[in-house]
Amino acid sequence: MNAAKRSIATTDHNNNAGRKIAVIGGGLGGLTAALAFARQGAEVSVYEQAAALTEVGAGIQITPNGARALDALGLADALSAKGLRAQAVMPMDGLSGATIARFDLTAQVPAYRFFHRAALIGILADACVAAGVKVHLNSRVTDYRPDGGFDVAGRTVKPDLTIGADGVQSVLRGRLNGAAQPFFTGQVAWRAIIDQPDAPPEARIWMFPGRHIVTYPLSEGRLNIVAVQERDQWADEGWHHADDPAHLRSAFADCCDPLGAILAKVDTVGLWGLFRHPVALNWYQGTCAILGDAAHPTLPFLAQGANLAVEDAYQLARATDAAADLGAGLAAYQAARKGRVTRAINAANANARNYHLGGVRRIVAHGGLRLIGRAAPGA
């Protein structure tokens, strides 16, 4: 392996070299983990239930903390080529269109960027394949065994370390922690992408009483839209419920003209309920560990779910590389991550209130949005 590439994720100890690592789930967290372990010389296989490594059609914000881990894995050039550099985050009055505040992002290092999810997955997937990761598609893991093995595609696999990056419905999380008790937050969200070639490179949070909309541009002249409304009831957690765009427009019928023009362009929209999950108590056991949404699903009010998953993945690779004993490395991983993740999730939960008009005074009084700053994973 290229010595320069290898050195960026490895520690002085080199304990992951030659280890057999299985990653369950080829999302942003799983692929980052696969790449980090492969950079350290591990033999890595990813098992993904879907037929392709791709993502739902939506945007994602990669903030400096997540970018720092991705840069350290050698992806800085690809991120800069495919992402759109953010200039500012701006809370707006959705009723009048007035700008409430403008938080400048131009000094952020590494850059805060907007991506189409599929583009980000593509960057990671290409890097994984180039680093020798074996990707198994159409490979749903059906059973986890107490010895760390699992069943997939009619055979049993028993690696040195099994990483559950299998998302919000993680089976491995259940194995390590028992059944979780998520609860409906009383909020639903619509998600859409429209063509909007002239959108400025800013994340705008359009606030209303009991509602808000976040818009930000993507490459190729598109605009990503997430709209949140308070509601009493919702049946199912998941991202794939199609809705009539007229429902979105009617929920924001009182919006200002610029936002109305944006919503008028929406022709396809998904709707889903937002649920809160407790942070998992146990992130590892024996030769298994969980990361990302599998360990700590988060509400999308701080743009941190994927960024935290990326940080987890990087830290998991570093902590296990540094410890001669795998169990000690897994314990160090959990100890390094849990407090920080819990703080970020609490901040995202608080923003659920702050983003609705009653919370504007709180935001300005605290000097800005609670953006995640400079913490470097594994530093």
Q: Which residues bind ligand FAD (CB under 6 A)?
A: 24-30, 47-50, 60-61, 140-141, 165-168, 171, 189, 191, 226, 292-294, 300, 303-307, 309
Contact indicator for 294, 26 with CB cutoff of 8 Å: no
**Would you state the structure tokens that stand for residue 64, as one six-digit string?**
């400096």
Smaller CB separation from ligand FAD, 40 or 61: 61
Catalogue the E-assigned strands of 72-221: 84-85, 88-93, 103-104, 113-116, 134-136, 141-144, 150-152, 155-157, 161-164, 183-195, 202-208, 211-218
Please say which residue, 52 or 264, places its beta carbon nearer to ligand FAD. Answer: 52
Closest distance of CB 100 from ligand FAD, Å: 20
CB of 145 to ligand FAD, least distance (A): 14
Q: Interior CA angle at 77 toward 76 and 80, to 5°?
A: 85
Closer by beta carbon to ligand FAD, 26 or else 91? 26
Strand partners, 206: 92, 213
Return the structure tokens found at 283.
Answer: 């992130």
Which lies closer to ligand FAD via its Cβ, residue 131 or residue 135?
Answer: 135
CB of residue 112 to ligand FAD, shortest distance in Å? 10
Checking DSSP bridges between strand 222-230 and strand 211-218, what pairing results, if any? antiparallel
Could you tell me the smallest distance in angstroms from the CB atom of residue 230 to ligand FAD?
16
Closer residue to ligand FAD, CB minimum distance, 1 or 375: 375
How many CB atoms within 10 Å of residue 255?
22
Query: Least separation, in Å, of the C-beta of 3 and ligand FAD?
Result: 29
Query: Quick one: DSSP state of residue 263?
Result: H
3-class state of residue 260 by DSSP: helix
Instruction: Return the number of the residue (292 or 378) whose C-beta is nearest ligand FAD.
Output: 292
Minimum distance from residue 280 beta carbon to ligand FAD (Å): 12
Closest CA to 304 of 65, 75, 111: 65
Sheet order of strands, 59-62 included: 59-62, 113-116, 84-85
The distance of closest approach from Cβ of residue 324 to ligand FAD in the complex, given in angstroms and rounded to an integer, is 28
Residue 74 or 292: the one with the smaller Cβ distance to ligand FAD is 292
For the chain, what's the residue count? 379
Closest to ligand FAD by CB, 92 vs 121, is 121
DSSP letter for each residue of 8-71? TT--SS-TTTT-EEEEE--SHHHHHHHHHHHHTT-EEEEE-SSSSS---S-EEEE-HHHHHHHH
Min dist CB 271 to ligand FAD, Å, is 11
